[in-house]
A and B are shown apart, each in its own frame.
Chain A
């Protein structure tokens, strides 16, 4: 059974058109993460929520926002996607001292 679900798996948007990526979890984990992974590069942490507390990485562009309306869902909003934002976006969850569980990712294409 899928525990960390990301929708859609593939997303195409236009340059400058806002886009939202979705992540949901059935694990009831208190921490949720968003990573950006560009081609042939390491996953890079954008931000994470510890319960409702939002933690932004220092080098995450302002163009990237996140919402976590409840424990199960977390959204990544890209306000004005540029060509450089084309990447795989990974969601992950964690609880306590456990490790992180990753979703399958959403591949974003910007035209």
Chain B
């Protein structure tokens, strides 16, 4: 149906709090990616899910970051004990599989005070 959706669209939190970011991929898309984009910067790969395979977590910057995906549906990115440097736009993208087009969600703007 519709494109990739993400929630919340904006999140303001205090340093030290945990946050959960949600991504709803396009129905039927087997692969799902999370990226981080700091202000004025490029797209930083975080984690990649492909079907039932073990996720590629090689881009997660620290053990405060984790992500889950239920089957081929919703994914949640969790950041524990947030720090100010975590402030960024977190983008989710889904695809039917490489090397197909990645469809991006609108992103979640996270601000850690």
The judgment on whether A and B are partners is no
B residues apposed to A, CB below 8 Å: none
Which A residues have a C-beta under 8 Å from some C-beta of B? none
